[in-house]
Structure 1
Amino acid sequence: MNIARDRITAGVLAGGRGRRLGGVDKGWYRLDGQPLITRTLARVAPQCAAAVISANRSLARYRALGHRVVPDDGGDFDGPLAGIAALLQAAATPYVLIVPVDTPALPLDLAARLGAALHASADLAVASCAGRTQPLHALLRRELLADLEAARADGVRAVHAWHRRLTCVSVAWPDCDAFANVNAEADARVIAARL
């Protein structure tokens, strides 16, 4: 089904530890001179009605970008599910496009393609490439918040484990470079050479 842009909030996950990058806040890691958060917002915000950032440090700095910022409820690097819960809670639209802050080349048609694939009986649409699911690149119904909280209460900590409880539609992408993420300096060099 086609989901209008004004019914989707972009939810940016910016709460990781950045251990392999020396513990830096990944959103502020500079790739070719530009912070990852700036690159991510430039690609995803035009696809949606609004953008919300989930973070657990540098909150004032993120707010200065002009978007709503919410702390994940773990407050102590509690993992992506805590960030997703915070984003679903904060969204004012029926759909949330979840993306991580560290994929600087994410598709400019991510919301449109996932929205076109999401049918009435599915809970979410998730990107995939070369047979590999990209669980942090997904369009979710905001109403999944209650199920997510129940899953977390049951001890679920991995995004893919939560997705297994749901009805998912997988959307294949031909270009896997769109989902390449910056986890280490070596990743940054490879991705910067392609941008």
Structure 2
Amino acid sequence: MAISCIILSGGRATRMGGIDKGLITLQHKPLIQHVIERLKPQTNEILINANREISKYEAFGYPVLQDTHANFIGPLAGFSLGLQHAKHDYILTVPCDSPLLPHDLAHRLLTTLMENNADIAVASSDGHAHPVFSLCKKTVLPSLNQYLALGERRVSAWQKGHRYIEVNFSDHSDAFINLNTVEDLAALESKLMQSLKLKSDHA
């Protein structure tokens, strides 16, 4: 089953000092490059939602879509763009700051969605849903347009208005760490370095 994906990189990143999160480096690579490398084997099309540094995002070689809604309305702007522009009937959404996203994210979401005849599947771990890690059918676009027209912005509330299923990724809890601050990034960098050192010591 063909899947399109949109990487959500249109946020303000206020807690990162206003720097575009997707372009911040981890282990000498921009965060969005880590995400792209994990998505390429899983999906048939990659789109990027960004509102600044457009030329830098275009340099990754994928279409870059800018918000069409006035003012900043949050992640659902990216959902809307993905649903409008995707070539395929299933759209995976992921944030740009998820460098450890599961290698089987798309497969597990799609399998569970189809088994349960759902419209939207959302990743969860350790009892918490992660609404921006989702797989949607393209048929949910009209309802999203209506929801946004009413001034609503909450991702989870919109999702739960459909046939909705959560998929447990507690075996990949690290994949959903929020990298909201420079300190968060430094902590992950340190953790990954320690992991590499342990692997090297046991090689």
Task: State the TM-score, normalizing by the size of structure 2.
Answer: 0.89
Q: Report the equivalent of 1:27.
A: 22
Find out whether 1:74 has 2:66 as its counterpart: no
Q: Is the 8 A contact 1:25 1:57 kept in 2?
A: yes
> Partners of 1:14 and 1:160 in 2: how far apart?
19
Q: Report the equivalent of 2:150.
A: 154
Unaligned runs of 5+ in 2: 193-203
Match of 1:188 among 175, 185, 189: 185
Give how far 1:135 is off: 0.2
Larger radius of gyration: 2
Q: Report the equivalent of 1:84.
A: 79
**Counterparts in 2 of 1:1-195, with a 5 A limit?**
4=1, 7-74=2-69, 76-119=71-114, 121-174=117-170, 175-195=172-192
> Partners of 1:108 and 1:162 in 2: how far apart?
27
Runs of 4+ in structure 1 over 6 Å off: none
> Partners of 2:152 and 2:167 in 1: how far apart?
24
Q: Is the 8 A contact 1:56 1:76 kept in 2?
A: no
Unaligned runs of 5+ in 1: none
Q: Is the 8 A contact 1:56 1:75 kept in 2?
A: no
- In the alignment of these two chains, the number of paired residues is 190
> Partners of 1:75 and 1:58 in 2: how far apart?
18
> Partners of 2:70 and 2:58 in 1: how far apart?
17
* Segment drifting more, 107-116 vs 55-64: 55-64
* Segment drifting more, 20-29 vs 57-66: 57-66
> Partners of 2:29 and 2:73 in 1: how far apart?
27
> Partners of 1:74 and 1:60 in 2: how far apart?
21
* Segment drifting more, 173-182 vs 21-30: 173-182
Q: Any idea what SS the aligned residue of 1:176 has?
A: helix
Give how far 1:155 is off: 1.9
RMSD over aligned Cα atoms:
1.3
